[in-house]
Amino acid sequence: MSNADRVTDTKKPSVLSRTVLGFLASTLSASVGRNGYYIASAWILVEAGYGSASVGTVLTIVSVVEFIASPLAGVAADRFDRRRLNIAADLSRFVVLLVTACAFFYLDAFVTICLSAALFAFCDRVALTTSQSMIPVVVRGAGLATSNSIVFFAVQFGCLGAALLAGPLLNELSPALVFTVLAAFFVASAASLGWVRLDRASDRVYAANSFVPNTDLVRHFAVYALLYGGAVLVSVMGSGFVFEEQQGTAVDFGHLEAAWSAGSLIGAGLLARLTRTISTHTLHLMLLGSTALALMALTPLSAPWTLAIFAALGLFYNLGRVSVEVTLQSRVSDRVLGRAKGAMHSLAVGLGLIIFGIAAVLGDRVFPSTIFFGFGVALLAGVYVLSINFAKQKGE
C-alpha cells in the first residue's frame, strides 16, 4: 500500500479487537491523569499567589526535561519493547504523583511542583513517545488517518474528562488528595496496556538505524512546533487569563480547559474527511493562520465568547497535530519512528522554551491576552515563511 493510500484509507480498525480496546483504554486513562496533573499544578500555583510567571517557570522545567528526554525516549522506543516500556512509564508516573502528594505536607507548593514536574516530565515523555509509536502496529491494516483520529479522539476525551474533573477536585479536596486521585489513572492505564497482546513481528527489537529528516519532513516538523507553541502558550497563560483578566474561579478555569478539549474532540474526528478534499500543506497553512487569528481575537473579547475561541483553538491544534502524526507515520519506517518523533518533539520544545523565556521576562507586567496577540502575529509570519518555502520547492 502506498503512503498516500495509507493516509487517506478510511478503513476502520476493528473496535472489537482486544488489542485496540486495551490500547484505547490505556490512552484514555493516561490522558485523564496527565492533563489533570498539569491543570491541577497550574491552578494550585496561581491560587497560592505565585502568578502566571510560576506556571511558566514550572513548564520551562518540563520543557528542558522533555528537550533532553525526547531523543532518548525515541531511541528507547526503537530499541526496546514499546508496550513494556509504556507500562513501566505509567507505573513511574503513578509513583511520582504519590510522592508529590506526600511532599505537600512538608514542602512549599512551588518547590513541590517544580521537583515533581521534572520527574513527571521524563516519565511522561517516555510514555507518550512509546505509546504514539505503537499506533501503526496496534491498528495494523487500517488507514492511518482514521486510526490516528480514533486514538487522538480518546486522548482528547481524556483531556475533557480531566478538565471537568479538575475543577470540582480542586474546589473540594486538598492538593495532596487531588494528586492521589489522579495517580490512580496511571495504574488503570498500565493495567489496560497489560491486557494488550501484539504479534511477535510487532514486538521485535530493531537494530539502531540512523534517521536524517528530509526537507519535506522538516517543514512538517515546523508546523508541529508552531502548533505546539500555541498549545504551550494556552497552558502557561490560561490560568492567569482566567484568574487575572476574567476574575474567574477554579471551575471557570476548568470550563476553559473543557472548551479546549471539546474543540479538540471535533478536530480529531475531522481529519479523515479533510485529507480527501484538501492537500496536507494547504491544510497546515490554514490551521496555522486560523490559530493566529483566534489568539489575536482574545484581546477584545470577554466571557463567554472566549470559551468559543478556546474551543476553536483546541480544534485547530488537534486537527493539525493528528495530521502531522499521520504524515510522519506514513513517510517514516517503523524502525526509526521513535527517533523521528523524538526529533520532532525536540524542535517543538525548543520553540516552547523561547515562549517560556518571554513569559518569564514579561512576568505579570502585561496581560495574558497581550501575549496571545503577539504570538498570533508571530504565527502569521510563520505561515508566510512556510508558504514561500513550499512555493520554492514546487518551482524547483
The model's pLDDT over 337-380, given as tens digits with 9 standing for 90+, comes to 888 888 888 888 887 787 767 766 766 677 777 888 888 888 88
Q: What pLDDT is attached to residue 386?
A: 83
Are 265 and 315 spatial neighbours (Cβ–Cβ below 8 Å)? no
Residue 373: what pLDDT? 86
Closest by Cα among 238, 226, 307 to 56: 238
Alpha-carbon distances of 173 from 31, 137, 179, 210, 351, rounded to whole Å: 21, 40, 10, 49, 35
The model carries a pTM of 0.75
Virtual torsion, Cα 184, 85, 192, 124, nearest 10 deg: 40
What is the distance between the alpha carbons of residues 173 and 196, in angstroms, rounded to a whole number? 34
CA distance 231 to 324: 15
| Residues in the chain, pLDDT under 50 | 1-11, 13-16, 200-208
pLDDT at residue number 33: 92
In this prediction, residue 375 carries a pLDDT of 84
Burial class (CB in 10 A: 0-12, 13-18, 19+), 112: buried
CA distance 319 to 265: 9
Q: Per the structure block, which three cell numbers stand in for 88? A: 513501566
pLDDT at 94: 96
